Amino acid sequence: MSDLSPDSLLQTLQLQPDSHLVLALSGGLDSMVLLDLLATARQLQPFALQAVYINHGISAFAAQWGDFCARQCAERGVAFVQRNVVLTGRDNLELKARTARYQALAEFIRSDKHLLLTAHHSDDQLESLILALKRGSGPAGLSGIAARCNFAAGALCRPLLPFSRTELTAYASQQQLSWVNDDSNDDTRFERNFIRRHITPVLLQRWPQFSATARRSMQHLADLQQLADYYTIQAAERCVRSNTLLLAELAKLIPLQQDLVIRHWLKSYALNPETQWLTTLKQQVIAARSDATPVLVCGNYQLRRFAGKLYLLTDAQVAVQEQSLNWQGEPKLQLPCGSKLYFTAQQQADALPLAAMSAQIVFGRLSLRFKPAGSAMSKPLKQWFKLWQVPPWQRLQVPLLLVNGELVAVAGFSSSAEPQQAKCWVSWQKQD
């Protein structure tokens, strides 16, 4: 897009006949310029357009701004919706407001035909770079705000990124637009406001082209990040299996690529740990002795290693089951961990024979001796679990069936009864 015009906006957006555009409208200069451009562009090429105002309740004037946006949309024949969000606490207010805003906007992006538009411009991009430098971000953070990316069920587009706030102001003046001024923009306790007031003016006064050259550097970093993502995804396909990481495959990669694959894996669970945490993971979990059972917490998950695999587990997946139950011949038994035992008269797939019509169900008694049918010897259950390669945390959740205090079946694994001795068959449905 070479200039601020409805024609060039349409060239940037490349809309389809069934495209549905949702504009995040604040009533400020930037979003009012984009609203005006979209309303005019719709006269050149028809498309569905809706504006959404998110009221954070931070400013005493927020409701008035919502009314202003409603009037401006009505004048242009644009559908308008207002959503109120509630923020708790005053710490990290910028982050909380941003998170709540995008969560609310996500409700309107319901299909791949929906496109969310925000009015970020090049000054915002420079502020993002300075913030990323302050945080010590990597290439993904330093590459700044993406012009287009996936969002909810559709996509998010920022068509004004090539333009400065000065250019937007010139357009607004030329078109005689009205807009609101957010009083919080003057509060330099907010990081972006501090940068906008005290840092970027100095940089641009000294180097007028700094914003443009910074965008060029950010694009180079974005290109490098895209290349790294491409090879990381290929490597992850060899290393990741569901919620596990195959450590032998990971070890074939160079250390830097190992880090990228681990981060890619964790990102799918919305985890983005600090570099020091990643170092701890490699030193104390991945590189621990083969007989060790290290645990490392990340967010609401635990990372555990077993038999050459790194597991990412929820608290429920590692919970210790202690409650015992009595089975008295009923066809189904609900277990405290959320799983179920089913008992049938006829053999089913993966079902174990049981030479009794009643039993006690217990968990975690790994010292009990067990002799599977066809085995020549009895061993403590703990040794059988090792042979069966069952991770330690899973051993405590496996239902054990006792008859007169004797372990006769380990649900999902083995029974002491031969098939011809079966009075019924038991199968274990694990928790989803």
Which DSSP state fits 291?
A: T
Q: How would residue 90 be classed by pLDDT, with cut points 50, 70 and 90? A: low
| Residue 273 burial class via C-beta count within 10 angstroms: exposed 0-12, middle 13-18, buried 19 and up | middle
Question: Across residues 120-129, what is the average pLDDT?
Answer: 91
Cα distance between residue 385 and residue 376, in whole Å: 17
Fold of 242-318: Chorismate Mutase Domain, subunit A (1.20.59)
C-alpha distances (whole Å) from 136 to each of 3, 106, 274 are: 34, 29, 10
Cα distance between residue 260 and residue 256, in whole Å: 7
Residues 95-127 as b or e (16 or more Cβ within 10 Å = b): ebbeebbbebbeebbeeebbbbbbbbbbbbbbb
Q: What is the CATH number of domain 6-218?
A: 3.40.50.620
Query: Residue 76 pLDDT > 70, yes or no?
Result: yes
Residue 1: predicted pLDDT: 45
Residue 46: predicted pLDDT: 92
Q: How would residue 93 be classed by pLDDT, with cut points 50, 70 and 90? A: confident
For 404-430, give the DSSP string. TTEEEEETTTEESS-GGG-SEEEEEE-
The closest alpha carbon to 426, from 344, 359, 326, belongs to 344
Query: How far is CA 313 from its chain centroid?
Result: 15
Which residue intervals of 85-143 are DSSP H helices?
93-106, 122-135, 139-142
Q: How would residue 314 be classed by pLDDT, with cut points 50, 70 and 90? A: confident
Q: How would residue 38 be classed by pLDDT, with cut points 50, 70 and 90? A: very high
Q: What are phi and psi of 62, to 5 degrees?
A: -60, -40
Query: Residue 358 pLDDT > 70, yes or no?
Result: yes
The closest alpha carbon to 58, from 190, 253, 224, belongs to 190
Question: Across residues 88-102, what is the average pLDDT?
Answer: 79
Query: Residue 26 pLDDT > 70, yes or no?
Result: yes
Residue 94: predicted pLDDT: 74
Query: Residue 2 pLDDT > 60, yes or no?
Result: no
Residue 157: predicted pLDDT: 96
Of 111 and 56, more confident: 111
Per residue in 204-223, pLDDT tens? Answer: 999 999 988 998 999 999 99
Residue 387: predicted pLDDT: 93
The two tokens of residue 100 are 């709540």
Task: Name which of 58-67, 229-238, 401-410 the model is least confident about.
Answer: 58-67
| Residue 342 burial class via C-beta count within 10 angstroms: exposed 0-12, middle 13-18, buried 19 and up | middle
How many Å from the N-terminal Cα to the C-terminal Cα in the chain?
49
Contacts of 429-432 with C-beta under 8 Å, sequence gap 24+, read 429/339, 429/340, 429/341, 429/342, 430/339, 431/316, 431/337, 431/338, 431/339
Residue 65: predicted pLDDT: 93
The percentage of residues in the chain with a pLDDT greater than 70, rounded to a whole number, is 98
In the chain, what is the greatest distance between 2 CA atoms, to the nearest angstrom? 92
Query: Residue 91 pLDDT > 80, yes or no?
Result: no
Per residue in 188-207, pLDDT tens? Answer: 778 888 998 899 999 999 99
The percentage of residues in the chain with a pLDDT greater than 90, rounded to a whole number, is 69
Question: Across residues 8-35, what is the average pLDDT?
Answer: 94
Query: Where along the chain do its domains lie?
Result: 6-218, 242-318, 325-429
Residue 432: predicted pLDDT: 58
Cα distance between residue 410 and residue 385, in whole Å: 10
Which residue intervals of 281-420 are DSSP H helices?
381-387, 392-395
